[in-house]
Amino acid sequence: MGVKRLFLWAAFALAAALAGFAVAGSAAARPIALAGATCAGGADSAEAAFGIADARLDCGAGRFNRRDRFVRGRIDLSKIGHLHPGQLVWQTDPTAFDSMLIRLDYADGSQRLVDVDSQMAVRNWDANGNFWVPIQQEASALTAIDVVVERPQSAAVFLRMQLSSHGEAAGRNYSRILLYMLICGTLLVPIVYDLLFYRVLRARFMIWHLGMTVGTLLYVLFNSGLIMVIWPDIPSRLRFAALFFAMSVTVLCMAQFSLQVLEEGLISRPLRRALLWSAAVNLVLAGLLFLDLEVLRMRLLPLYLLSVLPVIAALVAVLAAALLQKSRAATFLAAAYAGLIVAGAAQVFASLGLFELSETVDEAVYVALVILVVGSSARVGDRFLIIKGERDRARITARKLGAMANSDGLTGLLNRRAFDQNRRLTTGKALLVADIDRFKTINDSFGHQRGDAVLCHAARVIEKVVAEHGGGQVFRLGGEEFAVLFSAGGSDSMEALAEAIRRAIEESADAASAYDMPEITISVGGVMGEGQLMHVAFSDADDALYRAKDGGRNRCEFAAS
């Protein structure tokens, strides 16, 4: 699957998710939000909380941000209009708490009490990250719902309360499960790509992108409630803390990935530090959620949400600085990050109570996260191709430079440097050392230019003979001296190649004369490999060569085994 197919798959997944969210929202009436009709109070016990007179409950802004051990929210159903007929479902965010009591008040004065422990909130999960409690409507009308929560960690448990009909909630839950599974499947594709790319090109930015994608996947699993399928007995407090920690990991990896993948020299050191430190502070605050410190209860989550804003500001500044310098990478990142920056800021402001929380904001965050991962994957693919091209060109250049360093500039044969890289003459190999006879006389009589032509002519003849006899390496060791390193089954093979080279040089007189070159002959010395060091083998072959010279030239001699 190529990068283009990744885009097609992601586009299909996004379109399906958007269409699914739209259908889920229009197929049935939206749930009835209860936060606006809820007043709050606090006490040291559940009995005392239920005993607070209705007139003493706080109905103003910030009424849910209470640090009492037991916080009560009373919902006056007369303020919300007509209820759905039939069985109802009360839903809210399963933000970490120790226990919860729900009291239902009816018009005839009767009451019903529902005991909700933290694990019930996990078991009765909803695909939007909420949990639900069945609310049975009696013959007498339901007039009020009282919710008392012990040690709530966040005001979201009250802000996200809503009522739905049972059938509507079940249908929405089923469709959203499919949608969230589709989103998770989409996020798995970049993870596979990162792993495959990293095997080819071990660049650090791929590790950060992989961490960002894994963090996003975990966030979707925890926030949507799909983690209950994998881990049905997960403690509610762990799920609560892990949700924000996964988002912080995503944010930190996104910051590191951005700085790694942007071109060097575009971002100033203070701006880099601002982005990394703000992301690190956000991660530390998320880690504190695991500790459940009483002194930070109801305070830590607002601090965590506020810590997201400096990260967003620093990230926007980094992208702006890079875009002003016409960064190619920043163009990819701006397109990938824009949705999450807007949706993330909206969710932070909504969670802080600046405007009403809604499912639309949650849905926008999910879609923005997929765009973030897939869009940044496009930059990973683009960067991968650029680096791979640069690396391939560097390798080709290195090979060329290596070949030039090991090649003789005149004849094109391997040079003495290449020959010296052979440390031993192993068994089954043979070494021939050849020297053009009376070459100094040729230089003195015909000039060095004609001498260079003789050397090139001899090099081509030796190369051709070696190739015809099964191949091997041909070296020019310097001056008029050549060497051949080749595989030989025995001394007969070695002697046959040596004689073939000598005879070919002698018989090449006609070809040489056509180029106005003098006739030449060559003397050859050889040695069979027995695992000896190369300098020892060369010395033996060189001695054999000089015996050939002393014996009258234009002949072959070989070292004794």
Q: Say if residues 138 and 83 touch (Cβ distance below 8 Å).
A: no
Say whether 436 sits in a helix, a strand or coil.
strand
Distance CA 498, CA 484 (A): 9
Neighbours of 229 (CB within 10 A): 11
pLDDT in tens, 467-491: 999 889 999 988 899 999 999 988 9
Per-residue pLDDT, 516? 64
HEC readout, 178-222: HHHHHHHHHHHHHHHHHHHHHHHCCCHHHHHHHHHHHHHHHHHHH
CA 265 to chain centre: 23
CATH 1.20.1070 applies to domain 3-20+177-394 = yes
Confidence of residue 515 (pLDDT cuts 50, 70, 90): low
Residue found by looking up tokens 């060369």 in the block: 538
Is residue 109 scored above 60 in pLDDT? yes
Beta bridge partner(s), residue 486: 430
* For the chain, percent of residues with pLDDT exceeding 90: 38
Residues annotated as part of the active site = 480
Least confident of 88-92, 367-371, 516-520: 516-520
Distance CA 320, CA 484 (A): 63
Confidence of residue 561 (pLDDT cuts 50, 70, 90): confident
Q: Say if residues 439 and 454 touch (Cβ distance below 8 Å).
A: yes
Rounded to the nearest 10 degrees, the angle between the axes of helix 236-261 and helix 204-224 is 150
In the Cβ-directed half-sphere of 195, how many Cα atoms lie within 13 Å?
6
* For the chain, percent of residues with pLDDT exceeding 70: 90
What CATH number does domain 32-160 carry, 1.10.286, 2.60.120, 1.10.860, 2.60.40? 2.60.120
Q: Which two tokens stand for residue 370?
A: 């997929």
b/e 428-460 (16+ beta carbons within 10 angstroms → b): ebbbbbbbbbebeebbeeeeeeebebbbbbbbb
Which residue type sits at 189? V
Per-residue pLDDT, 511? 62
Least confident of 1-5, 134-138, 430-434: 1-5
Rounded to the nearest 10 degrees, the angle between the axes of helix 236-261 and helix 269-288 is 170
The residues spanned by each domain of the chain are: 3-20+177-394, 32-160, 416-558
Mean pLDDT of all residues belonging to the chain:
85
What CATH number does domain 416-558 carry, 3.40.50.920, 3.30.565.10, 3.30.70.270, 3.20.20.30? 3.30.70.270
Q: Do domains 32-160 and 416-558 have the same CATH topology?
A: no
b/e 238-270 (16+ beta carbons within 10 angstroms → b): bbbbbbbbbbbbbbbbbbbbbbbbbeeebbeee
Which residue type sits at 317? A
Per-residue pLDDT, 486? 94
DSSP letter assigned to residue 407: B
Distance CA 455, CA 513 (A): 14
Neighbours of 481 (CB within 10 A): 16
Find, among 437, 516, 514, the residue nearest to 479 by Cα.
Answer: 437
Burial class (CB in 10 A: 0-12, 13-18, 19+), 354: exposed
Per-residue pLDDT, 43? 95
Rounded to the nearest 10 degrees, the angle between the axes of helix 300-324 and helix 328-351 is 160
Contacts of 426 (CB under 8 A, 6+ apart): 529, 531
Per-residue pLDDT, 28? 47
Distance CA 543, CA 527 (A): 10
Q: Which two tokens stand for residue 488?
A: 């030989």
Q: Say if residues 61 and 159 touch (Cβ distance below 8 Å).
A: no
Q: Say if residues 274 and 229 touch (Cβ distance below 8 Å).
A: no
Beta bridge partner(s), residue 32: 163
Confidence of residue 1 (pLDDT cuts 50, 70, 90): very low
